Amino acid sequence: MNGQQPTAVITQQGSTLRAVALSADAGRCEILSAKQARLSETNWAQFAAECGIPAPLPRESTDRKLIAGFDSSSVVFSRLEVPAVKDEDLAAMVKLQAESRLPLPADKMQLAWRVCRESAGKAVVTVAAGRTERLAKFIDAVRPAQPSAILLNAEGTVRAWLQCFGGSRSPAVVISVEAWNTSVCLAEDGRLSNAVSLDIGAEDFIQAEDTGQKAELTERFIQDTTRVLDLFASATARDIPVHVLSDETSTIAEIVYALSAANINAVAASARTAGIGLKTSLTADQLYTYRTAIGLGLLALDEQQHTLHLFDRLYTPAGSEQKALGLLSLKKAAAIAAAALLLLVFVSYAMDIVSLRAIEKSINAQSGDITFAQLKKRRQLVTEVARQRQQTDVLKLLTRVNSVEAAGVLLNSIEYKRDKPVKIIGEAPGTDLLYKFQEALIKVQGVSSVTIQSAPQDAKTKKLRFTMTFDYKSAGRAEPLQQKKPEPPGTQSQKEQQ
């Protein structure tokens, strides 16, 4: 942290905007100011101007640093362990493994990841994923303020705990109770390693009408937290300390007491004004109120900190020469994208860690075309796909098939079994394009004996729903299959009729 221009951070939590301004000089940070306002009475650009950070002209933004914080309750975090390989192979492996855990097709998601550590030939990776549509809506809201970067609130929560709430570099769980949700974060080496959002917040406890309702709410909170801790325990010790960020109100005290009574190693972590390496005139209550924004500001000032840049493919700051990839960031819509290969991935990472009501609420909010029943029905299949993807040859196969360009051709599924041909099922606008895809696939390294088994025309879409097989390296049959032309549109093979 060298002498830098002041950094401003704005976060939105519920219907409230909060902003802080920080500066750093000779390794020491100072919190210059803090301000909040109701979103119903202002907007991002107006609020930024009120805080003394008006939007610059596009070519004058070099020295201006405004960070926008994104609510992490709509972000799915996961933690992967994959073989430690070279960067390009690691990126493909992480992407495929991460997408197999997520509730949306890849063309509707954005991914960001970082390696936490490497040891014994394994790499532990933290992954963040968000629905592209939701990220784009947030960009539309903050774009008039022209932020220089958009960061995830959960990362700010962990950094604030580390520096303002007595945190350490040792593994710990950090719980931040917001108004209507609770962020449960796994912190390792002082940064975010994993996170889950629960759909219970402080206001739920405050507004509980009677003792019975509060008891029921508390029990569900304990159960959900326990499931999250069980998930985190797969990577850390089961008795890992749990730090609940506290404003020293009765609500937080009751939550800590309830967790402790359930044999959870929970303690209250109150904000500190002294000995935290920060120069500030804010009170402990103010440090708690602005904790997320302060944490994001400290991250922005730390040039050595690698954050999860979930918005980089969608948002380009004013004055930046970087070109945003836009909503169709994975490939051109006409290409056979990774999304097409991953029709199988209808599984929610949160399935094993939060209550059924919370899962359905999350799914309904994020995707109207995916039901909870579908997730459960396909879970077993996806687990098998994820297992197969651990194998290096399957990873390379998916990567190579994904590289084939064929306008309008989309793949719905891919079946890989040892000692048998690979089978892919998809759809094509017409026979000519299907043949072009077949010819392009033949040229893929390791692929041979590409055969169109059938290609009947769908009565509704008028597209050809084809089944194609091919040999891949030594995994396919030794004898090549006979090449066949697709059947005329509207017909079906005897095998499909049976």
pLDDT in tens, 170-224: 999 999 999 999 999 999 999 999 999 999 999 999 998 888 899 999 999 999 9
Q: Is the pTM of this model over 0.85?
A: no
User: What is the side-by-side strand order in the sheet with 422-428?
Assistant: 410-415, 422-428, 464-472, 447-454
List, in order of start, the domains of the chain with CATH numbers. Answer: 404-497 (3.30.70.2830)
Q: Average pLDDT across each block of 10 residues of the chain; the chain has 498 residues. List them in order.
A: 71 92 83 93 92 65 79 90 77 76 75 86 89 94 93 97 95 95 94 94 91 92 93 70 96 96 94 87 95 95 85 82 37 31 31 42 48 48 47 58 68 73 86 86 84 87 88 52 46 44
What pLDDT is stored for residue 332 in this prediction? 31
With b for 16 or more beta-carbon neighbours within 10 A and e for fewer, the 237-260 pattern comes to: eeebbbbbbbbeeebbeebbebbe
Please check whether residue 410 is in contact with residue 426, taking contact to mean a CB–CB distance below 8 angstroms. Answer: yes
Spatial distance between the Cα atoms of 203 and 301, rounded to a whole number of angstroms: 33
Q: Which residues pair with 115 in a beta bridge?
A: 125
Structure token digits, residue 220: 């569900």
pLDDT, tens digit, for every residue of 302-361? 877 789 999 998 998 866 654 443 333 333 322 333 333 333 332 233 333 444 444 445
Q: In b/e form, how buried is each residue of 93-126, taking b as 16+ CB within 10 angstroms?
A: bbbbbbbbbbbbbbbbbbbbbbbbeeeeeebbbb
Give me the pLDDT at residue 236, please. Answer: 56
Q: For position 85, what pLDDT does the model report?
A: 77
